[in-house]
Structure 1
Amino acid sequence: MKNEHHYNTSIVWTGNRGTGTSSYRDYARSYDLTAPGKPLIAGAGISVIAYSDNAEGTMQLNPDGSGHFTSVTLHPQVTIATGHDLTQADALHHRAHELCFIANSVNFPVACEATTAHAANDSRDI
């Protein structure tokens, strides 16, 4: 059918350190995500402990009763495991937002004002 779009992706676990999943600490949580014609995305192995978001949107109502959004701002709060790299987590979050299919498909700006923190309360706004 002409209006259908089909996507193929593959994910491969790359965290085998030689003994598979013989114990919880003997393997990594890393992976590679691929899609035909797209660059490989390497999973960064950052352990997310908690994630929440309080999004805000502004919608313009028209006199005829229709309406449309004029902006959306996301406020994700991400907690990662102590010892994991906040700078890397920040960079990954920014890159994910830049590549976001939904944010790149709508006709209004989508902003992302994220906060990343270690489980031990070491936080930063990104």
Structure 2
Amino acid sequence: MASHDYSSRIVWTGNSGAGTRSYKGYARTWDIAVPGKPVVPCSNDPLLGGDPGRMNPEDLLLSALSACHMLWYLHYASEAGIVVTGYEDTPVGVGEIGPGGAGRFVRAELRPLITLVPGTDVAVAEAIHHRIAQVCFIARSVAFPVTHAPRFRFAPA
């Protein structure tokens, strides 16, 4: 098997001058800095006092899962002769918090709205979703079930 290396740089930005001297004395903020790419300012989950205007780890995981699925969908659609002219997703991840505050995702549902050219066989377009879990790097890496509830619409002729 071939291996791929991915790298990132996480830089904590929440030191207000006293470090972690007290639990409420520092912010749970950081930047994701990947060389050659825009910096992504992040925070923890707003349920834990994080900044709701910044991405959090849960947002990033759900977004990565959805984006990976989309890219494979577009690839397989192209191979099958299915012409996609628009794709947007509003995925939902369901988490749980156990005793002691430890959390985890228990499931996710991808809900893509896919725009097809008129005359496309929707059954073929739908079947593509079932192939993706076998190849999507992110879907193959998560330890929770991922379901799909695609919707289709046709582009104006």
Q: Distance in 1 between matches of 2:84 and 2:117?
A: 6
Counterpart-to-counterpart distance in 1, 2:131 and 2:108? 18
Are 1:69 and 2:67 matched, yes or no?
Answer: no
Normalising by the residue count of structure 1, what TM-score does the alignment of the two structures yield?
A: 0.54
| Identity fraction in percent | 38
In structure 1, what is the Cα distance between the partners aligned to 2:97 and 2:129?
A: 32
Q: Is the 8 A contact 2:129 2:148 kept in 1?
A: no
Q: Which whole-Å CA distance do the structure 1 matches of 2:150 and 2:85 have between them? A: 15
**Contact 2:109 2:148 (C-alpha < 8 Å) held by counterparts:** yes
Instruction: Specify which of 119, 128, 131 is matched with residue 92 of structure 1.
Output: 128
In structure 2, what is the equivalent of residue 15 of structure 1?
none
Task: Specify the code of the residue in structure 2 equivalent to 1:52.
Answer: E
CA distance in 2 between counterparts of 1:106 and 1:83 reads 36
Letter in 1 for 2:4: H
Amino acid at match of 1:92: I
- Residue in structure 2 matched with residue 58 of structure 1 by the alignment: 94
Cα RMSD for the two superposed structures: 2.6
Amino acid at match of 1:119: A
Equivalent pairs counted in the alignment come to: 84
Whose strand fraction is larger, Structure 1's or Structure 2's? 1
Which amino acid in 1 is paired with 2:92?
Answer: E
CA distance in 1, matches of 2:143, 2:4: 23
For 2:96, the aligned partner's letter is Q
Structure 1 stretches (4+) deviating beyond 6 angstroms?
none
> Structure 2 CA distance, aligned partners of 1:5 and 1:54?
31
Partner of 1:47: 83
- Taking the aligned partners of 2:98 and 2:124, their CA distance within structure 1 comes to 43
Q: Which has a greater percent of helix?
A: 2
**Equivalence for 2:19:** none
TM-score (norm 2): 0.45
SS in structure 2 of the partner of residue 6 of structure 1: coil
